[in-house]
Structure 1
Amino acid sequence: MKNLALFDLDHTLLPIDSDYEWGQFLVRIGAVDALEYKRRNDDFFAQYQAGVLDPVEYLEFALGTLARYPRTELDAMHARYMEEVIVPAIRPQARALVQRHLDAGDLVAIITATNHYITAPIARAFGVEHHIAAMPALDAAGRLTGKLAGTPTSGPGKVTHMHAWLEGLGRQFASFERSWFYSDSHNDIPLLSVVSDPVATNPNAALAQHAHANGWPLLHLFND
């Protein structure tokens, strides 16, 4: 594989935020206290949009919610979430973009700040084997503890985790002739600045401005 293609997930390949929508789903099915959970989820989402989110605080809020449930019950809820929320949100143009890189023989990965439990099935739905995400800590029996294992996969953390993932495959970033990263967010400027082909995809205002200033291409997968 001569080339590398990396994709952010939320608002890049999906027109929604999978983490926020998971919280909304839990509220809708009555799995959490509606008023309190929605208040905290909305607050964290506003912080993310403003670029001031503490990733560890948010991840441990989200992972703490996951840890409340037996794994069988949690998996059943997640299967329903995929069917009702995620699969209907996957657009053909996003699938086609990923498939183009897969068909070209590129090494493809989704790299997201959202936790691994929520996003692993979404990566599989896109046909992507490699998936880099915030990892939940597990106890000796393999149950979620509600804590984060390691460091967040957000901002400059995406660069660190990308290098660690490649090293685990016996590869070096410098060995690729070309490298793409598709993202919607200014929070991903650290990784966008490292690859040979940064693509501001459905960019927010801050990323669009940065992309224009640096001559990066803009890609609009979604019109809504």
Structure 2
Amino acid sequence: MQVYDVKVVFFDLDDSLINKDANSLWIKWRFRHERWALVEGMVALASLYRSYKKGRVSYGRLSRYYRTRALGMNLDEYRQRVAQFFHERGHLHIYPQAASLLFAYRRMGVTLVLITGADEEVAQAFGRALDIPHVISNRLAVEQGKITGLQRPLCYGSGKVGLARAFLREQGLKFSDAAFYTDSHADLPLLEKVAQPVVLNPNNRLRATAAERGWPCLDWRMLTPLG
């Protein structure tokens, strides 16, 4: 498995290091425990998933989804549910190849960063399991202990570029020092910024873009992931 001579590597999560997107895994898991997941799933399908895949998710849509997702929960309760979800289901969807790739970069002393549209609680759970020390994600908005949506800016699309730039500045680094692995066409803004873009488990649209631009492409879907 090839690794690149860079100082920092950013990794997407959904359909990249894991074989599903974390939100759909969460909804399926929650449906087994609570009927409210049916409402959450309907909201997600109606206003979120199609736009998400096309790279057109707005702050309003994603924040409204999170208000529905966390209705009636305070932050501690949500954190406990996320821990239960990850223990029972989430960790089973990590690609085994991810561990090998991360280990290779870790041996080289490369800084590893998970940059994902998942919320901070879900992202941190996967980050700990993958031993990725730095996590950039969407942040929950909390008022009087209740989750009311998400904070700005979104960690999505062009928003990832600004958040990655801020991280690099804190480390004294530049985009020319970085690689980025992702499956998502919505991540083109960040792929175009880094020195070494790598498409990972891409859809047909991103695969075609990678071929046009000469970007390397990895596909782990032909091998059986854990779970």
Question: Under a length normalisation based on structure 2, what TM-score does the superposition of the two structures give?
Answer: 0.87
Q: Which residue of 1 aligns with 2:209?
A: 210
Q: Deviations over 1:64-106 (max 9, x none)?
A: 4225213443233212210222111112111111221112100
Give the letter aligned to residue 218 of structure 2.
L
| Structure 1 residues 147 and 183: alpha-carbon distance in aligned structure 2, compared to 1, 3 A threshold | same
Question: Aligned-pair RMSD on alpha carbons?
Answer: 2.1
8 Å CA contact 1:55–1:154 kept in 2: the answer is no
Give the letter aligned to residue 78 of structure 1.
V
Q: Does structure 1 residue 157 correspond to structure 2 residue 159?
A: yes
**Where do 5+ consecutive residues of structure 2 fail to align?**
none
- After superposition, where does 1:6-45 map in structure 2 within 5 Å? 6-30=10-34, 32=36, 34=38, 36-43=39-46, 44-45=48-49
- After superposition, where does 1:64-103 map in structure 2 within 5 Å? 64-66=68-70, 68-103=72-107
- Tell me the distance in 1 between the aligned counterparts of 2:176 and 2:205: 31
8 Å CA contact 1:109–1:129 kept in 2: the answer is yes
Q: 120-129 vs 37-46, which deviates more?
A: 37-46
**What is the CA distance between 1:211 and its match in structure 2?**
0.4
Instruction: Write out the 4+ residue segments of structure 1 that deviate beyond 4 Å after TM superposition.
Output: none
Q: Does structure 1 residue 219 correspond to structure 2 residue 218?
A: yes
- Tell me the distance in 2 between the aligned counterparts of 1:46 and 1:181: 24
- After superposition, where does 1:39-188 map in structure 2 within 5 Å? 39-43=42-46, 44-66=48-70, 68-139=72-143, 143-167=145-169, 169-173=170-174, 176=177, 179-188=178-187
**What is the CA distance between 1:170 and its match in structure 2?**
4.1
Count how many residue pairs are aligned between Structure 1 and Structure 2.
Answer: 218
Paired-residue identity, %: 25
- Tell me the distance in 1 between the aligned counterparts of 2:82 and 2:175: 37
Question: Under a length normalisation based on structure 1, what TM-score does the superposition of the two structures give?
Answer: 0.88
- Tell me the distance in 2 between the aligned counterparts of 1:33 and 1:197: 39
**What is the CA distance between 1:55 and its match in structure 2?**
4.2
8 Å CA contact 1:22–1:81 kept in 2: the answer is yes
